A and B are shown apart, each in its own frame.
Chain A
C-alpha cells in the first residue's frame, strides 16, 4: 500500500542543512499495524508527514496505492489525504470552537458527503469510541483521553484505509494510553492499516511490526513478531 524508495528530506534553514531523512526505504502492506520508534530528532515525524502528504520530499519516490505522490498537485493531494488517510495527532488537534459532532464532521464535509450519511457515520464513529452521548460537548469539556478518542473518531469517519498516528498517547497517562491503544488495535482488526510513532516501548511491543528510525534511516526491523493475521500474510508473501 505504501512504498518509499530512497526518500530524502532536507530542511534548509539559514546556514544549516538538516537531512531529516536520507535514503529512506520502507514498504507498508495492507492491514499492517506498525510502531515506529527512534530517538528524538531522528525523523519519525518527518516520515509520517511525508507518508500523509503533509509535506513534500526532496528526493526519491513515494507510491501510495500505486499512485506516484510526487506527480500530484496540491488539490489532488488534499483530496487523496481526505479519502485515504486518517490522522491522529499527539496534541489531539480538535477544533476548539466546534463540538464533538462538528469536529468529526469536518473531513466528511470536505469530501462532500450528504448530511444524512454524515450523521450516520458520525454517530457510528462516536459510538465506536464510546462517546456517543457527548456529541454536543466542546473539546475542552473532555479529558485528554476522551479528546484523543474523538480525534480517532474523526480519523475513522472518512473510513480511511490508512491511519497515521504521531505519538497518539504521548499526552495521556498510562491507563488512557492503554484504552487508546486497544481502540487502535480494534480498528486494525477491522481492516485499517496503521502506522504509529511512539516513544513507549510497551506499546511498541504490542504491535506486530516495529521499525526504528535513527538518523533519518530505517535502522532496525524487529520483524514480524508472529502476531496478527497481517504479519502472517506478510511473512508468507515475503517467502519467510
Chain B
C-alpha cells in the first residue's frame, strides 16, 4: 500500500527539516559531481603518456663564462664525454627541454608565401642524437643523419629537413599524410623526413601539447640545455658523475638544474597536483558532513515522532508499514534533493566551464554521485526506521 499522498502532505506541513536535507543533498550533488569530473579530467591528463621514457632521462643546463671557446664545438665534445659515462645510452644538447614550460612555439605553413594560414607547433633544435636520446618511436621515414645537421651560429639559417610528431603532420597535412612533404617556416622549406608516433612539447597542459617539430641544427650558446638517456637503473649514478666529468673537461662553467625528466614534468604539473589534493580533501569533507547531516536529520525526524509511531501502531500499522513510511518519506526528500541538485550541478558546471578552462561535465558523474547519495539516504533511514518500528504501541497510552 503506497502512502505517497499523506506523506507528501505531511512533509509540506513540516518543511524545515526536509528543506535542510534537500538543500544539503542538492549542494553535495552539484559540488561533488563537478569536482569528480574535474578530478578525473586532471588525472587522465596527468597520466597521459608524453612519448618519453621520463624515468630514464636526465636534464641539466651548462652555464659557460668562457667566450674563447666555440660553443658549438664544446657542445659536441660534451656530448661525447657524457656518452662515455657508463650507463648512458645517448646524450644531446637541446635548445629547450620538453615538458619544462619553456621552449619555442611558432606557426608553420604549407606555402612559402605568407597567406596567413599557420599551424602552430612547438619546436626545438638538436643534432642527430636527439631521437635516440628522447627515446621516442619513429613510425615513418628515417632518423636524422649527421649530414642533415646544420651547425651554425647564424639564426637566419635553417636546415633542409625536420622530424615532426604525428599529431602535427596529421593536423597540417591530414590524417596519415606528411612524410616527404614540405612545410615552410619563415619562408624557408623544410622537408618532413620522419614522423614520430608521440612526443610532447614544452607545454603539456595546452591543447596542442602533442605538436613538436625537431630541427637538425646546433646553435649553442652560453646557457645550454642537455638531455641524457640512461639505463633507468643507473640514472642516479650517472646524475652524480655528470658534473665532475664535465668540469674536468672545462672548469670555467657551472652545471645547474640537474633533474630527471619525470621531475621536470612533476614541477610543471605541481599546481594541478595540489589542486587535485585540495579537491579530494574538499569533497571528502563535504561527503562526511552531508552523511552526518542526513543521518542526524533522519534520526531527529524519527525520534520526534515517537508518539505518532505508537499511535499508528495502535491503529493497526504493522512494523513493516512504519519502516516503509520513513523509507518512502526519506526517498521523496532524496529525490527532490537530487532533482534540484542536478539543476544546480549543470548550472555550476556551465559556470565553471565559462570561467575556468574545465571540460564539460559528463552525465555519468552526476549519475554516480546521485547513486552514492541515494545509497547514503537509504543507509541513513533504514536503521532508525527499524528502531522506530520496534517502539511499543503502548507509548500511545503511556505518554501524554
Q: Which residues of A contact B (CB under 8 A)?
A: 45, 48-49, 52, 54-55, 74-75, 78-79, 81-83, 87, 89-91, 93, 95-99, 102, 105-107, 109-112, 138, 154, 158, 166, 171
Secondary structure call for the B interface? helix
Pick the residue among B6, B313, B400 that contacts A102 (CB under 8 A). Answer: B6
Instruction: Kindly supply a per-residue 1/0 record for chain B positions 1-17, scoring 1 wherever the CB is within 8 Å of any chain A CB and 0 otherwise.
Output: 10100100111011000
The 10 residue pairs across chains A and B that have the minimum distance between CB atoms:
A82-B316, A97-B10, A107-B315, A54-B393, A93-B311, A54-B394, A110-B316, A91-B400, A78-B318, A55-B394
Quick one: which of A45, A82, A107, A109 contacts B398, CB cutoff 8 A? A45
Q: Report which of B13, B315, B394 forms a contact with A106, defined as CB distance below 8 A.
A: B315
A80–chain B nearest beta-carbon distance, Å? 8
The answer to whether the Cβ of B319 comes within 8 Å of any Cβ in the partner chain is yes
Q: Chain B: interface residue count, which band?
A: 20 to 34
Which residues of chain B in 311-328 are interfacial with respect to chain A, using CB atoms and an 8 Å cutoff?
311-321
B contact set with A: CB distance below 8 Å: 1, 3, 6, 9-11, 13-14, 307-308, 310-321, 392-394, 396-400
Cα separation A103 to B321 with both chains bound (whole Å):
16
Nearest to B400 among chain A residues (CB) is: A91
Complex Cα–Cα for A54 and B399 (A): 13
Nearest-neighbour CB distance to chain A for B311, whole angstroms, equals 4
User: Complex Cα distance A79/B1, Å?
Assistant: 14
State whether A93 touches B318 (Cβ < 8 A): no
Among residues of B, the one whose C-beta sits closest to the C-beta of A154 is B315
A-B pair number, CB within 8 angstroms:
93
Extra inter-chain contacts (6) besides given A75-B318, A87-B396, A106-B315, CB under 8 Å: A45-B398, A54-B394, A110-B1, A110-B321, A138-B13, A154-B315
CB-based contact A112/B1 at 8 Å? yes
Rounded to whole angstroms, the CA-CA distance of A18 and B128 in the bound complex is 101
With the chains together, A107 CA to B314 CA distance in Å?
9
A110 → chain B closest CB, angstroms: 4
Q: Report how far A89 CA is from B392 CA in the complex, Å.
A: 15
Q: Are B397's CB and A81's CB within 8 A?
A: no
* Docked CA distance A128–B287 (Å): 53
CA distance A79 to B14 in the complex (A): 29
Residues of B within 8 A of A109 (CB): 1, 3, 6
A93 to B397 CA separation, bound complex (whole angstroms): 9
State how many angstroms separate the Cβ of A151 from the closest Cβ of chain B. 9
Judging by beta carbons under 8 Å apart, are A93 and B317 in contact? no
Taking the nearest CB of chain A, how far is it from the CB of B387, in angstroms?
15
A95 touches which of B1, B3, B311, B393 (Cβ 8 Å): B311
Residue of B10, B315, B396 near A82 (CB, 8 A) is: B315
B3→A45 contact, CB < 8 A = no
Q: Which B residues are in CB contact (< 8 Å) with A106? A: 6, 312, 315
Provide the residues of chain A in CB contact with B321, threshold 8 Å.
110
How long is the Cα–Cα vector from A82 to B393 in the complex, in angstroms? 13
